[in-house]
Structure 1
Amino acid sequence: MNIITVKELEKILKVKQKTLYQWAELGQIPCIKMQGCLRCDLDDLLKWVDSCKKAPHNFQLAKY
């Protein structure tokens, strides 16, 4: 198990910390709270990133 901080996660995903906290609150990213601090298991994170790449994207154009 390789636990990383939000600061490390920010560098890996190139996403702002505020966004990461929002994703965590919504359950959109695999993470845990340890002593009140957000942490991610690097292995779980990499699996999550891989699953996001494989997921089909169904985009619909807005009708005006």
Structure 2
Amino acid sequence: MKLVGIEKIAEMLDTSPKTIYDWTSTRKIPHYKLGRLVKFDVDAVMVWLETCEVKPYNRGTGGKSLKGGGK
């Protein structure tokens, strides 16, 4: 397990440290609190990131039409 700080994880995720602080305060991102320090397991964050993926909408049969009509 490799633990890194807020600055490093923000850099890895291409976001700001403030966003990372916000995510930790709402428990959106896996992290550890070591006294006043907040640390992140890089592997756990990468697994978490994969769960955040939004799959493209499948426009195959059976879905509702996006072309108006209907009620």
Residue-pair matches, total: 57
Unaligned runs of 5+ in 1: 58-64
Q: Show the counterpart of 1:36.
A: 36
Q: CA RMSD in A?
A: 1.9
**Normalized against structure 2, the TM-score is what?**
0.71
How does the TM-score come out when normalised to structure 1?
A: 0.78
Task: Answer with 1 or 2: which has the greater Rg.
Answer: 2
Residues 4-48 of structure 1, C-alpha deviations (whole Å, 9 max, x = no match): 111110110011111110110001000111131111001100000
**Distance in 2 of aligned mates of 1:13 and 1:32:** 17
Which ranges of 4 or more aligned residues in structure 1 deviate by more than 3 Å?
54-57
Indicate the structure with greater helix content. 1
